[in-house]
Chains A and B, each alone.
Chain A
Amino acid sequence: MSAPQQPLQAPPEAGSMTAAHRELLARTPDVIAPGHTFGSVTDKISGIVLTHWTPLGWFLGFAIAFVFLMILNVTIVKLLFTGIGIWGNNIPVGWAFDIINFVWWIGIGHAGTLISAILLLFRQQWRTSINRFAEAMTLFAVACAAMFPLLHTGRPWLAAYWLFPYPNTMQLWPQFRSPLIWDVFAVSTYFTVSLLFWFTGLIPDLATLRDSAHSKWAQKIFGVLALGWRGSARHWQRYETIYLLLAGLSTPLVLSVHTVVSFDFAVAEIPGWHATMFPPYFVAGAIYSGFAMVMTLAIPMRAAFHLEDLITMRHIHNMTKVMLATGMIVAYAYVNEVFYAWYSGNLFEQFMMQNRQAGPYGPFYWMLIAINACMIQLFWFRKVRDNVVLLFILSLFVNVGMWLERFVIIVVSLHRDFLPSSWDMYAPTRWDWGMFTGTLGLFLSLFFLFVRLLPAISIFEVRMLVPAAKVKGSTSEHLL
């Protein structure tokens, strides 16, 4: 049962191209391997879900992730029964792993929105086969991120009245002049809108799964989730409009989220935090780390499920280039921080930078410089961009580098207080590590389940990449 194959067309301007153009085009891999039809892309992607076959690596990966998820459960129970005293942070380092991990996770989420929304608005076709799982990554990363500020209140159910505005018996209201409340609104809006955008994209694909599933249960479950979608032209028209509108709304939203996160620091008067550069610096860092995470997930996934003809080298190249560009912005921000510490003429700012580079946590600073400023220069080389195994390893380093950046910003700025009598060192406890590795387990568990149970690549959008999807000729004119 295969769809009739449409002949592949040469690009219309092929005749007028110069030799250099043609060579450039030949060197740029396609966004989809040639020879695919509507049916074949549908089967390829839905086949991952609608099969009894699961790769062995999936079980292995899920098992490891699940162990860490259980560690998270134990940590949370311990935390709720004992209190946040089990963590290593104490005055002067009042914020440590909780906020580092919050910022790290939320930053990772940003790449998903960038791919799904901003690249859609810019009509970047290559986004199509990576947007779905990047959006899922966003949701899971934001869920992990939200856990930290929520749990660092110690008793989240008692914290509700100063986090959310609801009429309570004490007649108290949240303090809207605080960036921390802006954060609550930014992150919860971000999660909600990302979820809507993700689910909207899933509806037509859930209908595909409903129609091609063989098991009764799969038909029922996908049938309920697909909401009765039938692909009507009237539905598609409204659907496409809101898909674009949601993309347009997500674009400023994603920029605002990390801007607000950076306000948590920039509005405070701590040297190393109090900088107007923070919003763009944080947004660039978020996209940089997020793309690294997309690579970390995409490279094993495309190998495990043989998706090389949908997630092609074109995608890998482009993601590497985005990492290079945003990484350079981050590197520029590092230089700027050093410059302004000197230029400010402020004793505390100058000491902060000196302490960052040569203080007790100095090696962490140089590690992040080595990764985020130096190592990424490898991405300039085509040989590196072609080597997926190397890219996978480098993307892991970028994840580490960006985590170190947040460690340096948060802990190193706090541990040398204005008064030397308050100086102290910070070290995470095993519960800090349990919480952090636990969220990694939660993230990966969710991702493993997602890949197996839902279409990890947007089927209906990939169909539009098939050459036959183009309507040929203008229609109304030659009828009249």
Chain B
Amino acid sequence: MAQQRTPEVIHGLMAEFDNPTDLVLAADHARLAVYTVMDAYSPFPIEELDDALGLKKNPMPLITLLGGIVGGLGGYGLEYWTQVIAWPMNIGGRPFHSWPHFIPVTFECTVLGASLAAFVGMLALNRLPTPYHPVFNVPAFDRASRDRFFLCIESSDPKFDRHATGSFLKGLHPLGVSEVAA
């Protein structure tokens, strides 16, 4: 099923490659040609793409750290409040605030908070779940999760021009270039 009709509004233009090296080269060329609004799609993570696409450092470590701090403080706070304020009990003559006993649960809560923050944060920043996305309109895109590599220059790019961008992508020797219906 080839893309026969020419849609009025398109999400962008997508070039298809069959290996990661070509994709990284293509992304490099596109960046040097001052395209800014673009994304690459691959069946496994490619570290080199971060530089090639000019991606910024991501805030995941910070989010995870914050989650860990909240979890740890929450865990310790819970123990302090229940053991010292809400229900103080004399256990073998130990002080109510017997902090060494509170460490294991504090540690577990820290790990739990950090992990939940990392997982939920990743999904949130990636806007997942996303049931619909225009790139799925390209028939060949089925293989983005298998053995094909795609570079998509989006129509919202200030430099985007259907014809100029199309011939630019063709100049990168892809397997094919398709229009992505919005």
- Point out residues on A near B: beta carbons under 8 Å: 3-4, 6, 37-39, 42, 165, 171-177, 179, 181-182, 185-186, 189, 192-193, 196-197, 200, 204, 207-208, 210-212, 223, 227-242, 245-246, 249-250, 252-253, 256, 260, 263, 460-461, 463-464, 468-473, 475-476, 479-480
Contact = CB atoms under 8 A, between A and B. Distances in A.
- The A interface, classified by DSSP as helix, strand, loop or mixed, is helix
B21 A472 contact: yes
Contacts, number: 217
25 contacts: A39-B147, A42-B43, A172-B87, A173-B83, A177-B98, A192-B112, A193-B112, A196-B118, A196-B119, A197-B115, A204-B145, A208-B146, A233-B42, A234-B39, A238-B126, A239-B126, A241-B61, A245-B118, A249-B114, A256-B107, A469-B44, A471-B24, A473-B21, A475-B25, A480-B32
B1 to A, nearest CB: 15
A470 to B, nearest CB: 8
B86 A173 contact: yes
Given A176-B101, A241-B122, A475-B24, 20 more contacts: A179-B104, A185-B109, A189-B108, A192-B112, A192-B115, A197-B115, A207-B145, A227-B123, A228-B128, A228-B130, A228-B131, A230-B136, A231-B41, A231-B144, A235-B126, A238-B122, A238-B126, A242-B122, A246-B115, A249-B118
Contacts of A39: 146-147
A236 B46 contact: yes
Contacts of B182: none
B19 A468 contact: yes
B126 to A, nearest CB: 5
A211 B145 contact: yes
A465 to B, nearest CB: 10
B116 interface: yes
Nearest to A228: B130
A176 B87 contact: no
B102 interface: yes
Contact of B44 (A3, A165, A464, A476): A464
Interface of B: 18-21, 24-25, 27-29, 32, 39-53, 55, 58, 60-61, 64, 68, 75, 78-79, 82-83, 86-87, 89, 91, 94, 98, 101-102, 104-105, 107-109, 111-112, 114-116, 118-119, 121-123, 125-126, 128-133, 135-136, 141-147
A182 B58 contact: no
Contact of A233 (B49, B114, B135): B49
A241 B108 CA distance: 21
Nearest to A465: B44
A253 B145 contact: no
A470 B78 CA distance: 49
Contacts of B101: 176-177
B44 A471 contact: no
Contacts of B108: 182, 185-186, 189, 253, 256
Contact of B61 (A200, A245, A479): A245
Contact of A3 (B18, B28, B68, B136): B18
